[in-house]
Amino acid sequence: MIHFLSEKLKPGRIFRSIEQIDFRSLKAQGIRLVLLDIDNTLVHHGSHLPDAYARRVVESIQNAGLVPFIVSNAKQSRARSFAAGLGIDCIGMANKPSASGLLRACRQAGIEPSAAVMIGDQLFTDILAAKKAGVLAILVLPLDSREVWNVAFKRWFEAPFLRQYAKDPTLWPQP
């Protein structure tokens, strides 16, 4: 059972920061759509507006010729205002780990799931949803260790998987 779960939760790559991702390389691999989580991926948990970091990330994605798109479990109004601050589209209340929000984003963008990547900080939501949707899954380490109780609780269950993935050099980019 653990091995089965380990494969279901295993991202394609793991980065310490979203800024380490080579978006031009992803484009060369056929990726056209970058699905982004908000909390602890683009900004600290609970932020309602994008900061300079989030704007740099989105600009980097766009400069690589890719389409950035927010897919978040945040309330629709918060996801919309956050995405509007970046000038990009979004799906709020995505219900990750369900694949439905990711697939809806792909349909809305007119891009097949096989040409999309989901970037997020949680195995049990972002990565599992990506795997279910047939989207490349990239895990980034959380921006902040301070989190709401339910996310902190999930981190406890993620820890054994993360320890296992930390030992796999194929998941980590070469310096």
Cβ burial of 135 (10 Å; 0-12, 13-18, 19+) is buried
Rounded CA separation 167/15 (Å): 14
In eight-state DSSP terms, residue 99 is S
What per-residue confidence (pLDDT) applies to 138?
Answer: 97
Report yes or no on 74 lying in a domain.
yes
Structural domain of residue 150, as residue ranges? 9-166
Structural domain includes residue 100 = yes
pLDDT in tens, 75-130: 999 999 999 999 999 999 999 999 999 999 999 999 999 999 999 999 999 999 99
**pTM of the predicted structure, to 2 decimals:** 0.91
- What CATH number has the domain bearing residue 36? 3.40.50.1000
Residue 3 within a domain = no
**Residue 108: beta bridge partners?**
none
Mean per-residue pLDDT, 52-69: 98
Q: Is residue 150 part of a domain?
A: yes
Tokens 């056209």 map to which residue? 32
- Distance, first Cα to last Cα, the chain: 34
174 occurs within a structural domain: no
Q: How many domains does the structure of the chain reveal?
A: 1
Over the stretch 9-39, which tens digit does the pLDDT of each residue have? 999 999 999 999 999 999 999 999 999 999 9
